[in-house]
Amino acid sequence: MARLFDAYIIVDWSAASKPAQGANSIWIGALARDARLKFQFQAANPSTRLKARDMIASLAERFTARGDKVLVGFDFSLGYPAGTAKAAGLEKAGEPAWKSMFNHLSSKLKDKEDNSNRRFAIAAGINYAISKGPQPFWGAPARDQITTLSGKKGDFAELPLAEYRIAEAYVRKTFKAKPKSVWQLYGAGSVGSQSLLGIPTVNALSEMLPNSKVWPFETGLQPLDSEALDGTDIVFAEIYPSLVEVRPEAGEVIDQAQVRALAHHYYSLDEAGKLGPLFGPPAGLESTEIAQITTEEGWILLK
């Protein structure tokens, strides 16, 4: 079986508020064919999110210009628990909930050349719209804590929204892993800030790059094959690096090693004809859950 993709771009995102490189910063890994048609891996460490966005776009444009199909994986949540857009008053007629959230965050979070951002203020504003208090987003340094954003988690039993998406609950049960909630903005292992700042980048890239789709929102939660990808050159997907064993090589920081390991991981699955089915739902999901996943929550491209 032929591979689905010809190039694999893996992105380790960062919510840093100033330019940063090295550990705990943005790393972009690309595994693609060289001039001799052999797959080679290269990693880059742009210091800001704007530079990263432009680099991803440039790589994707270069690969698709020569006829490649490209998988781009991001290590943050691309969706929120079902009901979020409605609870925040963002629903629009004829627009899926995921797109309403993408557009809202893109309008509010504008990356700057100095990498500064207003993520805690934006989260506090969404909290006010949903609960008039410090929920569901939580976690912030003391200077950013206000009446609508606390440093500690609130009681989700009081909210109409779940703490975790179906995807996180599935990973916790199936892989005995502990992915964080998208509502947690601050603290070890948190992913909430990366999602707030990363979703606008994915939204921008999807608008900049022709024939691109965000999985599973625009493709459906279904196995992919060459027929399903006809007319699609780029697929954006959510990934979870902790599910793949990573062994840093000499001189590598862990983030750099992760993008390398994941690029080779998805390439190997694709080469063996095992990647396409992973774009479909795992056994046991109810039709109502699949509907929530494809309209608002998103899913993780698992191993």
User: pLDDT, tens digit, for every residue of 153-182?
Assistant: 999 999 999 999 999 999 999 998 999 999
Quick check: helix, strand or coil at residue 116? coil
Alpha-carbon distances, residue 204 vs 207, 249, 276 (angstroms): 5, 33, 26
CB-based contacts of 207, cutoff 8 Å, min separation 6: none
Measured between alpha carbons, how far is 212 from 69 in angstroms, rounded to an integer? 10
CA-based Rg of the chain, rounded to a whole angstrom? 19
Helix (H) or strand (E) holding 31: strand 27-33
What is the average per-residue pLDDT within 198-208?
A: 98
Q: What is the mean pLDDT of the chain?
A: 96
User: Which residues share a beta bridge with 249?
Assistant: none
Alpha-carbon distances, residue 277 vs 167, 186, 225, 271 (angstroms): 16, 34, 8, 13
Measured between alpha carbons, how far is 13 from 285 in angstroms, rounded to an integer? 29
Reference 11, options 70, 65, 64, 90; nearest CA is 70
Q: Which two tokens stand for residue 197?
A: 């700042």
Q: Which two tokens stand for residue 161?
A: 């929204």
User: Which residues share a beta bridge with 71?
Assistant: 8, 235
Q: What is the pLDDT of residue 1?
A: 62
Q: What is the pLDDT of residue 138?
A: 98
The label of the residue with tokens 């063996």 reads 272
Instruction: Encode pLDDT of 93-145 as tens digits.
Output: 999 999 999 999 999 999 999 999 999 999 999 999 999 999 999 999 999 99
Helix (H) or strand (E) holding 52: helix 49-65
Instruction: Encode pLDDT of 206-255 as tens digits.
Output: 999 999 999 999 999 999 999 999 999 999 999 999 989 999 999 999 99
Measured between alpha carbons, how far is 210 from 231 in angstroms, rounded to an integer? 10
3-state helix, strand, coil in the chain (%, to 5): 40, 15, 50
Alpha-carbon distances, residue 184 vs 209, 234, 265 (angstroms): 31, 30, 28
User: Which residues share a beta bridge with 27?
Assistant: 12
Q: What is the DSSP letter of 231?
A: T
Reference 26, options 3, 47, 8; nearest CA is 47
| 27 pLDDT higher than 90 | yes
The label of the residue with tokens 């800001």 reads 48
Instruction: Encode pLDDT of 45-100 as tens digits.
Output: 999 999 999 999 999 999 999 999 999 999 999 999 999 999 999 999 999 999 99
| CA angle, 181 then 92 then 123, to 5° | 35
| Longest CA–CA separation in the chain, Å | 59
Q: What is the pLDDT of residue 2?
A: 84
Q: Which two tokens stand for residue 126?
A: 């969404």
**pTM given for the model:** 0.97
The label of the residue with tokens 């947690």 reads 184
Reference 122, options 200, 28, 25; nearest CA is 200
The confidence band for 35, taking pLDDT boundaries of 50, 70 and 90, is confident
